[in-house]
């Protein structure tokens, strides 16, 4: 009986979500090469989670380095930092409190709620519902299933015509823990269909073009952030020869694959996978792009934890052939955004503007889709470190909220 009871307690513990009571998020600012070395050693020798940059190896002098430090490691980390004299700011005193504010604690409503984070089951139902209710503007298809068998819904938004129109592709949720991105795609789709016919610019856009929107790319990882680990980032596939789970899908494409800024270690948050497009999600997306590259004119991908608009290249410092045009478009976009909300974004090639990284499709805007399409590839890095939703009537997002943030990492 005692053995059965013990096994039962172990099973319950394994099912319980990971908690972050007492964990802190620190912002470090290395002022010298010695500081950089200290931060890198912390990352390699102590179990901490790098939010910015993705890896300790990408730390450079003067950048803001944000790390999530578990409560059990705080004394050791603080001792090292105090001895170094490095500038340190505590961004979250107790990470668990911030996590709890994000969970769904509202009463259920019949209508889809765009002002809170929705889990995968809710998003899945919404995708089916909104496409059925707006059949004149939205068509839905499944571009494949995830590793765990969930359908990857893609919505095509635009006025139906007898011939194919130019299209813009947009995805959200490459990294599972970046919840604000999933919410953005839902909000965008709602805005597109609800303003068509009343807003001249949106009406003209959807009459002349289509949007392909993938509301959630890394579905398995996103589900895991709800049920087990809010800070999970990668996919949920098994890695042969390793007990570590998942691949960073944003290092899994054929663009300088597994070189600068990516890791061949399956336990790393930037693990590039066993091969190019080893992840079924990556393969499904790549196949869709390859099949529709004749009509896709722009690729937009939404990430969080910076305020940047990035474009190729990221795996090398060379400028793209159409650099001047990419820069002009990006500067126009951030100027328009600033005129509306005062939000300041930075734009430029990924390798120069943030840091070099390879194998990316999205937040590290390497040239995989750029080479496939020869069009504008842009990455919106939104929600600088925090966010708040304005009232539904304001029809806008703000990234200038309190520090109770959407995670928040790339």
Q: Are 67 and 59 in contact (CB under 8 A)?
A: no
Enumerate the active-site residues: 381
Choice among 46-55, 94-103, 255-264, 313-322 with the minimum mean pLDDT: 313-322
What are the pLDDT digits (tens) for 304-337? 988 888 888 877 788 888 889 889 988 998 899 8
Choice among 133-137, 296-300, 306-310 with the minimum mean pLDDT: 306-310
Q: What does DSSP assign to residue 250?
A: G
Residue 253 region by backbone torsions, left for phi larger than 0, else alpha for psi between -120 and 50, else beta: beta
- Distance, in Å, from the CA atom of 173 to the CA atom of 25, rounded to the nearest integer, reads 22
What are the pLDDT digits (tens) for 248-295? 999 999 888 998 888 999 999 999 999 999 999 999 999 999 999 999
Which residues face 309 on adjacent strands? 347, 380
Under 8 Å CB-to-CB from 105, ≥6 apart: which residues? none
pLDDT of the residue at 141: 98
Greater pLDDT, 196 or 15: 196
Residue showing tokens 């890791």: 263
Q: What is the pTM of this model?
A: 0.86
Which pLDDT band holds residue 147 (cuts at 50, 70, 90)? very high
What are the pLDDT digits (tens) for 67-91? 999 999 999 999 999 999 998 999 9
């Amino acid at each position: 009986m005692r053995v059965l009871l013990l096994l039962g307690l172990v099973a319950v513990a394994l099912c319980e979500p990971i908690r972050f009571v007492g964990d802190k998020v620190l912002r470090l600012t290395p002022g010298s090469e010695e500081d950089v070395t200290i931060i890198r050693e912390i990352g390699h020798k102590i179990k901490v989670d790098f939010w910015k940059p993705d890896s300790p190896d990408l730390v450079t002098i003067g950048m803001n380095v944000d790390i999530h430090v578990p409560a059990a490691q705080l004394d050791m980390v603080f001792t090292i930092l105090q001895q170094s004299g490095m500038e340190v700011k505590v961004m979250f005193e107790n990470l668990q409190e911030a996590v709890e504010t994000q969970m769904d604690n509202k009463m259920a409503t019949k209508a889809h709620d765009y002002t809170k984070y929705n889990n995968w089951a809710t998003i899945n139902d919404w995708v089916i519902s909104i496409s059925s209710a707006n059949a004149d503007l939205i068509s839905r298809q499944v571009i494949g299933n995830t590793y765990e068998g969930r359908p990857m819904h893609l919505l095509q938004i635009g006025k139906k015509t007898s011939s194919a129109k130019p299209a813009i592709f947009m995805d959200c949720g490459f990294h599972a823990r970046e919840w604000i991105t999933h919410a953005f795609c839902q909000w965008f789709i709602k805005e597109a269909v609800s303003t068509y016919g009343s807003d001249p610019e949106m009406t003209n856009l959807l009459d002349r073009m289509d949007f392909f929107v993938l509301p959630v790319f890394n579905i398995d990882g996103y589900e895991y952030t709800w049920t087990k680990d809010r800070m999970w980032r990668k996919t949920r596939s098994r890695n042969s020869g390793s007990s570590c789970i998942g691949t960073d899908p944003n290092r899994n494409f054929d663009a300088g694959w597994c070189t600068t800024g990516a890791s061949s270690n399956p336990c790393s948050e930037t693990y590039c996978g066993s091969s190019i497009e080893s992840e079924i999600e990556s393969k499904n997306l790549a196949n869709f792009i390859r099949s529709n590259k004749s009509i896709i004119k722009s690729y937009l991908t939404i990430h969080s934890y910076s305020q940047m608009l990035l474009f190729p290249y990221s795996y090398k410092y060379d400028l793209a052939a159409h650099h001047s045009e990419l820069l002009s478009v990006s500067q126009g976009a951030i100027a328009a955004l600033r005129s509306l909300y005062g939000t300041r974004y930075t734009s430029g090639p990924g390798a120069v503007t943030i840091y070099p990284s390879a194998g990316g499709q999205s937040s590290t805007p390497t040239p995989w889709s750029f080479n496939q399409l020869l069009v504008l590839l842009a990455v919106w890095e939104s929600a600088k470190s925090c966010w708040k939703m304005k009232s539904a009537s304001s029809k806008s997002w703000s990234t200038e909220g309190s520090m109770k943030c959407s995670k928040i990492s790339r």
